Amino acid sequence: MTNINFKNLSFNFDDQSILKNINTEFKEGKIHLLTGISGSGKSTILKLIAGLLPKYGGKIVTGTVDIPTGAQVGIVFQDPLMQFALDTPRHELEFTLENCQVPTQQIPARINRALNFGNVQPLANRLISTLSGGQQQRVALAVTMAMQPDILLLDEPFANVDEENRQFILKQLRQINNDYHTTIIMTDHDLHGYQQLQPLVWHLTNGCLSQLSVKDSAHLLQKGINQKLTTSLPTSDLPAIINFDHLSIKRGNQNLLLPTDLAFIKNKTTLVTGPNGIGKSTLFKAIARLLKYKGTITYERANIQKLSPGKYYRHLGLVFQHANDQFLNVTVGEELALALKTSQNPYFNHQQVQSALKLLGLTGREEQIVYSLSGGQKKKLQILLMLMRGQDILLLDEPFTGLDPGSLKNVLQLIKDAQTKKPQTLLIISHQLNGLDGFIDFHLKMNQQHLKYVGGSYES
């Protein structure tokens, strides 16, 4: 085996330069961590190594990418939902192993080992479409590991994964790197927990890739360590906007939430956390009237089932976990025009929208097709559009995935600015808690079919 070589590589997407004259060698058997702001081209590098680009879009202008001949390359994408061809994790694993020409009698053992790797044994026969985002990501990782890759490419593998599983998988990655000498190249914005892997850290900026010095790397990884979060408990004299009255939710035969009474405080920001698959997104869907539940949910004391959807959604918006779901038009410009037309927040006029675009680094992209934006750019545009719509309540489901610390700060700033003209109640699901201290008023934990506010100062 030899190293992965980028020789004077330049890569374009629709005449837009993404990578410029990259000369780099990723050493075999090492763990490499790619950092850089959203949209800097991290995913592009991974897909080039995997051979998916330029086959599925874009163009190599100059140079070459050399990967060791005969090396098995495994890749896990940013968006886990779209990397399965079959219905259940077990079938997907069988399909993958058949593709890799694993002899029939070895397949069951390989499947078990892969399921153990991702800690997903109980999910093996569930329909993938019913798994939560974090569970899908772990299944995707398990499937890739079943291929026993020589080179493992992970694109923000922990974006929707809870802390416990994150630590578990990090440990697993160190293990396979040790045991099988697997080359691992991964991208991430949230760097906590990476110290134990002792990765070589790379920084991608303006299309140029450089390796950080040992000292800089150590500094950067140190910064990623968990921050403290300080929240208070809501008191009963605060006005509520959403109330649960004996709310219980089921997924199939499984209870996600046992009958609960709860209030969400008006014009405050509430963070909702909990392990993968515990039902956080499902809870949001119930509040947004997108699925059936038992008990009552009221908005400003009115039963939400008695409001017409048109009226209810004027007051309540959901920032979907998948940014693509939010878009209705083709180009960034058209999306912004629609958002301006239907805006309910007077803060956003032409000028403010322009400065918001500048803040988010989206200036000059009006003509670009929304779906061709990078993962992080889509998230930023999506949040901007929903802020412009300006409902009284905004539910945000993992809004910060794919955002680098700088972008996150800017997004939080934008949210605060938008609220100066029209206060909003925000409910946020997020696994990434770094940088959120001071932004959150209340913290609601979901676990074992219960919801509970937590308060005080604690390690996030």
| 95: contact with another protein by CB under 8 A | yes
d(CA 284, CA 289): 9
Beta strand 151-155 with 316-319 is unpaired
Out of 17, 328, 450, 457, the residue judged to bind another protein by CB under 8 A: 328
Region binding another protein by CB under 8 A among candidate stretches 61-69, 201-209, 239-247, 333-341:
333-341
Q: How far is the CB of 52 from another protein (least distance, A)?
A: 5
Q: How many CA atoms lie within 13 A of 67 on its CB side?
A: 19
Rg (CA), the chain: 23
Site for another protein in 116-145 (CB under 8 A): 127, 129, 143-144
d(CA 342, CA 313): 12
| 82: contact with another protein by CB under 8 A | yes
- Give whichever of 111 and 408 is closer to another protein, judged by the CB atom: 111
- Give whichever of 70 and 310 is closer to another protein, judged by the CB atom: 310
Packing angle, helices 107-118 and 133-146, rounded to 10: 140
204 close to 41: Cβ distance less than 8 angstroms: yes
Region binding another protein by CB under 8 A among candidate stretches 1-9, 22-30, 76-84, 221-229:
76-84
Question: Which listed residue (92, 94, 156, 398) is catalytic?
Answer: 156
d(CA 28, CA 30): 5
| 397: contact with another protein by CB under 8 A | no
Q: Which contacts qualify for 320-323: CB closer than 8 Å, 24 or more apart?
A: 320/382, 320/397, 321/133, 321/160, 321/281, 321/397, 321/398, 322/79, 322/81, 323/375, 323/378, 323/379, 323/381, 323/382
Q: How far is the CB of 72 from another protein (least distance, A)?
A: 8
Q: Please state the φ and ψ torsions of residue 370, each to the nearest 5 degrees.
A: -55, -35
Site for another protein in 147-166 (CB under 8 A): 147
| 313: contact with another protein by CB under 8 A | yes
State the binding string over 159-198 for another protein (x if CB under 8 A, else -): ----------------------------------------
Judged by DSSP in three states, 350 sits in helix
- Give whichever of 191 and 396 is closer to another protein, judged by the CB atom: 396
Out of 9, 37, 97, 451, the residue judged to bind another protein by CB under 8 A: 97
Q: Please state the φ and ψ torsions of residue 9, each to the nearest 5 degrees.
A: -85, 125
Give the Å distances, CA to CA, from 447 to 215, 321, 390, 417: 40, 20, 31, 33
Identify whether 300 is a catalytic site residue.
Answer: no
Q: How far is the CB of 312 from another protein (least distance, A)?
A: 8
H helices of 373-452, in order, are: 375-389, 405-421
Cβ contacts of residue 256 below 8 Å, gap of 6+?
249, 250, 278, 279, 282, 283, 449
How many residues sit close enough to another protein to count as binding (CB under 8 A)?
Answer: 58
Site for another protein in 337-366 (CB under 8 A): 338-339, 341-342, 344
Out of 66, 87, 261, 367, the residue judged to bind another protein by CB under 8 A: 87
- Give whichever of 52 and 263 is closer to another protein, judged by the CB atom: 52
Per the omega criterion (within 30 degrees of 0), is the bond before 54 cis?
Answer: yes
d(CA 282, CA 288): 10
Site for another protein in 12-51 (CB under 8 A): 50
| 330: contact with another protein by CB under 8 A | yes
| 241: contact with another protein by CB under 8 A | no
Q: How far is the CB of 104 from another protein (least distance, A)?
A: 6
Q: How far is the CB of 272 from another protein (least distance, A)?
A: 19
- Give whichever of 101 and 420 is closer to another protein, judged by the CB atom: 101
Torsion from C-alpha of 177, 181, 187, 193, nearest 10 degrees: 20
| 438: contact with another protein by CB under 8 A | no
Q: How far is the CB of 152 from another protein (least distance, A)?
A: 12
- Give whichever of 149 and 224 is closer to another protein, judged by the CB atom: 149
H helices of 200-308, in order, are: 214-223, 280-287
d(CA 258, CA 392): 27
Site for another protein in 369-388 (CB under 8 A): 371, 385-386
d(CA 151, CA 207): 23
Q: Which residues bind another protein (CB under 8 A)?
A: 50, 52, 56, 74-75, 77, 81-87, 91-92, 94-104, 107, 127, 129, 143-144, 147, 288, 290, 309-310, 313-314, 316-318, 320, 324-328, 330, 338-339, 341-342, 344, 371, 385-386, 389, 391
Q: Which residues are catalytic?
A: 156
